Amino acid sequence: MREVAALTDRPILKKDFITSERQIVEAKAMGAAAVLLTAELLPGSLTARLVRICLRHAVTPFVEVSSSTQLERLGDARGCVVAVSNKDIRRRERGEPQIERSLALLPAVLGSGADCAVSASGIAGPDVAARLLDAGFDALLVGTALLPAGDAQGWLEALELRRRAERVTI
């Protein structure tokens, strides 16, 4: 991570199962600007505690939630990126994505004070991506959907065309 951080001025996300202050401090020392906090795997109020620790160390908490209960446990989300996971991490993200989960939780995420609302995983194509962005998400976490597409630039262009078409018809 240090080598990558030395090669870019872009923020780097430490995507790991963060459970302690020591891990947050180490991630920052390696050049991470943000760390992933997976609320589904963190007990009780630990998510909120880790968020406070991140903010104290000037590391952006990228909090992944999959339910309103997890979002409520987070409390005040100012300073956070809050991502709604469309996949079930307990099932190793297998199975059909639950895009409706993102859409259902979006009002609560926006009301939480989060700096950025993200829909994460299972975004199969430009049509789904456009639907989520048009609904009000600030960003999307798209990974494996780009692999079978074979042309990331074409995928992004199709997304932009879809969004432009939506704005024209509204």
Contacts of range 12-16, beta carbons closer than 8 Å, 24 or more positions apart: 13/62
Angle in degrees, 0-180, between the axes of helices 99-111 and 126-135, rounded to the nearest 10: 20
Q: Which range marks the domain in which residue 41 is found?
A: 2-169
Q: What's the confidence (pLDDT) of residue 168?
A: 57
pLDDT in tens, 147-164: 776 778 888 898 999 888
In tens, the pLDDT along 49-80 reads 999 999 999 999 999 999 999 999 988 899 99
Burial (Cβ within 10 Å: 0-12, 13-18, ≥19) of residue 58: exposed
pLDDT given for residue 87 in this prediction: 83
Q: In this structure, are residues 74 and 88 in contact, taking their beta carbons and an 8 Å threshold?
A: no
Number of domain units in the chain: 1
Give the pLDDT confidence score for residue 146 in this predicted structure.
72
pLDDT score for 144: 74
Q: What is the pLDDT of residue 22?
A: 97
pLDDT at 94: 60
Q: What CATH number did the domain enclosing 151 receive?
A: 3.20.20.70
The parts of the chain modelled with pLDDT lower than 50 are none
How remote is the C-alpha of 135 from its chain's centroid?
A: 16
How many whole angstroms separate alpha carbon 70 and alpha carbon 51? 13
